[in-house]
Structure 1
Amino acid sequence: MKLLMKGMLFFVACMFAGGASAQTWQLAWSDEFNGSIGPSWVFETGNGSGGWGNNELEYYRRENAGIENNALVITARRQDFGGFRYTSARMKTQGIRNFRYGKIEARMRLPSFMGAWPAFWALGSNLPQVGWPASGEIDIMEHVNNENRTYGTIHWRDHNGNYAQYGGNTALNVADWHVYAVEWDANAIRWYVDGNKFHEANIQNSINGTDEFHRDFFLLLNFAIGGNWPGFNVDESKLPAKMHVDYVRVYRRL
């Protein structure tokens, strides 16, 4: 159940996992998906370049995203469209909402079957200028196939100019509602599920070339079908399948 109306500012105190001092946050932006998808999102359509760089099997369409019971629902379908066998949706705040540091979270319920790849993530706003991975990528939540596990990862170009990644994961029942979050500051990016920290990446003083993570990022939500990570065997008996998002919220530390 949602605890606030769209646009309301409020204060929340939370604890760092394993820490002794409370951190106070102020809501900076949210989309509660109460009746509609907010104006901060734009939709990407098609299959991108090389299946969005991942050899994904779906064609993204605006029509595959909607509101049900005051939650965003992205539906993946077995649907021939644009030369592809599946359709789904991908949305982003690029060019409208950018964020640097803070707490970013979404309450989500995920699909789980062979071929599923739902994600809540962020890319550097300088992506059009520098490309990937120089832009940096923060995967707040990724889930693949029918695993009862989610992943949190950063991707970047290190000080030698090479691709680098660093990630962790945690076990849970993805079919239940959970709050997936990162707390991001000049020292580290920390991953949480339901307030429990499971991973941390050090970015202090741009160690190992992590200067990308001290710049603005935009948010993305998508539900991919197949690709390099989940593989290419899709359990079509599970389609249509839905990814539910109750809200997306971004906080600033006071």
Structure 2
Amino acid sequence: MKATALLAVVLLAALSACTDTGDEPEPTATPSGLVWSDEFDGSGPVDEKSWNVATGNKEFDGWGNEELQYYTKDNLARDGAGHLAITAEHADPDAELPCWNGKNCAYTSGRITSEDKVSMQNGRAEVRMKVPAGVGLWPAFWMLGSGAEQWPNGGEIDVMEWVGNETRTVYGTVHGPGYFDDAGIQGEINLPADLSDDFHVFAVQKSPQRIQWQVDGKTFFEMTPDKLPEGKKWVFERPFYLLFNLAVGGPWPGNPTAATKFPATLLIDYARVYK
């Protein structure tokens, strides 16, 4: 979704390259240079200086994933306790909420993006959040390449994705030209307890020619140009902006079942960018 053009906060300080290139990357130290953050203090709507609120479904073809939620501005707000709450819930059956499948969307939820407002080229993007439990729920923290290039040519970095039928698994993925959708390059980590039990810190560290994914300070996945399929282009040497959403349904997470509890809320404690 295109928002009113505002001055982007582009972060150009590079990280030192990690010297370990083995199959199990070592944890990387958190940098100290905080350059932007949203602590989600207070209550009410998100800060318009940092965030755009996405709405709709049908006009975005189910957001490319046959998702069943209609995004609205009413499904996200600062909760007064230091969190951004993104809530998925049953939609009003009488509401006009057109979905990709020709029906009205059965659910509403929320999605925000920092496009044209906050972006990072090299550094660390970090979020602390708690995901909701339930089959068919699909919370994500991800990044898209800034600029006019059509997806996936500008690149996509999925910092954290979780699907409610795989309660202990976190996924990190890159998409680019010739390696997108099911061909995206993905890593994963299995945690000792259900992810929905507590808050966790998810981060990506991005330096020239290298991207690393972390959960609670542990590096679990790393991408460099030599890991791309032969002949494919590395498109990640550019600024990337931030996105958060709580999707419902689609082929990957599956559709909600009778056991899926609504409302379901993704709680974001903070979002931070370091140099």
What is the aligned-residue identity percentage? 41
* 8 Å CA contact retained: 1:187, 1:205: no
Q: After superposition, where does 1:58-137 map in structure 2 within 5 Å?
A: 58-68=69-79, 69-80=81-92, 81=95, 82=97, 83-126=104-147, 129-137=148-156
1:210 offset after TM fit, Å?
A: 4.0
Q: Given that residues 176 and 234 in structure 2 are in contact (C-alpha distance below 8 angstroms), is that contact kept between their aligned partners in structure 1? A: no
Matches within 5 A, 1:201-220: 201-203=223-225, 209-220=232-243
Partner of 2:250: 227
- By how many angstroms is 1:203 displaced? 3.1
The structure where strand makes up a greater share of residues is: 1
Q: CA separation in 1, counterparts of 2:74 and 2:118?
A: 22
Say which is worse superposed, 185-194 or 201-210, in terms of deviation: 201-210
Aligned residue in 2 for 1:8: none
**Do the aligned residues in 2 keep the contact of 1:226 with 1:234 (CA within 8 Å)?**
no
Structure 2 counterparts to residues 141-180 of structure 1, below 5 A: 141-147=160-166, 148-158=168-178, 164-172=183-191, 173-175=194-196, 176-180=198-202
Aligned residue pairs: how many? 234
- Determine the structure 1 residue equivalent to 2:261: 238
Aligned match for 2:26, one of 14, 18, 25: 18
Query: What is the TM-score with the length of structure 1 in the denominator?
Result: 0.84
Q: What letter matches 2:221 in structure 1? A: H
- Unpaired runs of 5+ residues, structure 2, are 1-17, 19-24, 98-103
Q: Is the 8 Å Cα contact of residues 143 and 242 (structure 2) preserved in structure 1?
A: yes
- Residue in 2 aligned with 1:5? none
Asked if residue 29 in structure 1 is aligned to residue 36 in structure 2, the reply is: yes
More deviation, 167-176/183-192: 167-176
Shift of 1:250: 0.5
Displacement after TM superposition at 1:23 (Å)? 6.4
Structure-2 residue corresponding to 1:189 = 211
Contact 1:113–1:238 at 8 Å: present in 2 too?
Answer: yes
Q: Distance in 2 between matches of 1:90 and 1:24?
A: 28
Distance 1:162 1:90 in 2: 20
- Amino acid in structure 1 at the alignment position of 2:150: G
CA contact (8 A) 2:136 2:260 kept: no
TM-score normalised to the size of structure 2? 0.78
CA offset at residue 155 of structure 1? 0.5
- Structure 1 residue 237 displacement after superposition: 4.3
Amino acid at match of 1:244: L
Quick one: which amino acid aligns to residue 179 of structure 1? V
Letter in 1 for 2:170: T
